[in-house]
């Protein structure tokens, strides 16, 4: 009993010491200053509303209704739950937080039988793989931007069809035809695509044609509309941990592809914690520190291309209240840092709810909803940041011909009340666009 008590005391002290080290890194004044100033500088601007017809006084209410910045998640469970109530709950939560959806285009499940792709909304059901047409209809109805994931991935478990030939000379024409077909069907509807995925990771592999990543980009460049952004996407280890300055392997891969003619339009950095040692090193302040994250974002930011933090799994470890709090604390810190960096265009959580990850990954409990689709503390963090802290809502009395304010970039509704009559106007404020908006007819 004495040994057990000492062990519990030591364990509690160890956890406390880890938390103190972690918090000291994120509360460092230099780190906090860079995050706060980055958000203020890169996500907000000064704007003026002009009221040329206004006579007397008015009450102006300004409400931001949509972000320019892309907050997203994969949408793999759309219509994928057992009950309609669960499906509705999933959709409502998705709409409440996100303006971007990662749409599954994994070849293995999109075309399980050669020549019979599952494009249409009424296609046969496959778990975590809703048909693209179904997803795009949902996105269009709810003002959500779709992102296609992924055109080419050499993973036999999740991406390579079972019917693919072993002769690499026969594989390349099939890849080219797939890219062409997807471009023809979805090129006008989806403007951002992951072209290749996890090139640097060892998977259960199928032999692939020589230089298949370069060929995939060149084929996509040929068939997709010119305004399509073609992304490269890579695993957590290569995106954030295997850093060697200008000799970082992921950077060297990007450099080589660009030199060979790949028109890379964006860079994806996955952020999965699929390792207990990694998670506990993070909580202990020994990995994924603020300096680590800024260092990598600064490196890829040099390309002047949009960066997506493309797939996020933050575990709720250990099981119980401590793990839920760990997940929430990490979520807030990471999102604030990513949001502050000028290179980052999108932050994409992966699985919305616990119990909906790919086989083998549910043990991490990486959703911000639990298995019953109830909010975890991480949901409260995301909701607080996306829908309150980072949304501009103002109310003011105006007696002149203008009203100036500073707000987050995005879409707005203004309600102007004069002599008891309220007029509503919509407008949008974007970076590097006009800073004045004329509201007439008041």
The angle formed by the CA atoms of residues 342, 345 and 275, to the nearest 5 degrees, is 100
C-alpha to C-alpha distance for 287 and 381, rounded to whole angstroms:
22
Q: Residue ranges of the chain with pLDDT lower than 50? A: 1-14, 16
Q: How far apart are CA 268 and CA 338, in angstroms?
A: 13
In whole angstroms, give the CA distance from residue 39 to residue 342: 9
Residue 115 in tokens = 């020549």
Please tell me the predicted confidence (pLDDT) of residue 205.
66
Task: Report the C-alpha gap between 394 and 414 in whole angstroms.
Answer: 9
pLDDT given at position 99: 98
pLDDT score, position 206: 74
> Sign of torsion, CA 292 234 300 432?
negative
Q: What is the pLDDT of residue 139?
A: 98
Rounded-to-integer distance, Cα 118 and Cα 192, Å: 20
| CB within 8 Å of 76: residues ≥ 6 apart | 104, 128, 129, 130, 351, 356
Task: For 75, list phi and psi in degrees, rounded to 5.
Answer: -115, 35
The model's pTM: 0.95
pLDDT given at position 77: 98
Predicted local distance difference test score (pLDDT) of residue 56:
87
**Phi and psi at residue 62, in whole multiples of 5°?**
-120, 125
pLDDT at 55: 87
Tokens linked to 273: 């914690």
The string of pLDDT tens digits covering residues 243-301 is 999 999 999 999 999 999 999 999 999 999 999 999 999 999 999 999 999 999 999 99
101 closest CA partner among 149, 159, 150: 149
């Amino acid at each position: 009993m004495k040994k057990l008590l000492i062990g519990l005391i030591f364990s509690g002290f160890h956890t406390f010491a880890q938390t103190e080290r972690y918090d000291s890194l994120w509360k460092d004044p230099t780190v906090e200053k860079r995050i706060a100033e980055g958000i203020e500088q890169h996500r907000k601007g000064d704007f003026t509303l002009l009221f040329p017809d206004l006579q007397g006084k008015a009450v102006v209410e300004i409400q931001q209704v949509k972000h320019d910045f892309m907050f997203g998640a994969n949408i793999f469970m759309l219509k994928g739950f057992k009950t309609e109530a669960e499906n509705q709950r999933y959709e409502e939560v998705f709409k409440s937080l996100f303006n971007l959806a990662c749409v599954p285009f994994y070849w293995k499940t999109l075309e399980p039988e050669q020549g019979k792709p599952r494009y249409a909304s009424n296609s046969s059901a496959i778990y975590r793989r809703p048909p693209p047409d179904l997803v795009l209809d949902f996105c269009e109805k709810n003002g959500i931007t779709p992102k296609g994931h992924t055109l080419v991935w050499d993973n036999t478990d999740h991406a390579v069809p079972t019917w693919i030939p072993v002769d690499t000379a026969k594989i390349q024409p099939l890849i080219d035809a797939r890219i062409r077909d997807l471009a023809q069907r979805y090129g006008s509807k989806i403007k951002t695509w992951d072209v290749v995925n996890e090139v640097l990771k060892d998977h259960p592999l199928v032999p692939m044609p020589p230089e298949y990543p370069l060929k995939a980009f060149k084929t996509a460049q040929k068939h997709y509309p010119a305004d399509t952004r073609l992304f490269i996407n890579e695993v957590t280890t290569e995106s954030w941990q295997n850093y060697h300055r200008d000799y970082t392997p992921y950077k060297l891969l990007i450099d080589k592809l660009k030199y060979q003619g790949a028109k890379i339009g964006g860079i994806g950095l996955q952020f999965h914690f699929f390792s207990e040692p990694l998670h506990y090193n993070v909580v202990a302040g020994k990995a994924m520190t603020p300096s680590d994250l800024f260092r990598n974002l600064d490196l890829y930011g040099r390309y002047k291309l949009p960066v997506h933090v493309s797939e996020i799994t933050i575990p709720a470890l250990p099981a119980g209240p401590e793990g839920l709090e760990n997940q929430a604390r990490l979520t807030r810190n990471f999102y604030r840092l990513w949001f502050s960096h000028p290179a980052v265009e999108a932050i994409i959580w992966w699985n919305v709810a616990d119990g909906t990850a790919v086989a083998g990954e549910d043990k991490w409990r990486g959703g911000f909803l639990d298995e019953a689709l109830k909010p975890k503390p991480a949901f409260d963090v995301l909701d607080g940041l996306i829908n309150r802290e980072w949304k501009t809502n103002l109310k003011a009395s105006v007696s002149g011909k203008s009203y100036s304010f500073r707000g987050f970039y995005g879409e707005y509704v203004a309600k102007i009340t004069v002599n008891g009559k309220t007029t509503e106007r919509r407008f949008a404020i974007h970076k590097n666009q006009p800073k004045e908006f004329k509201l007439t007819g008041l």
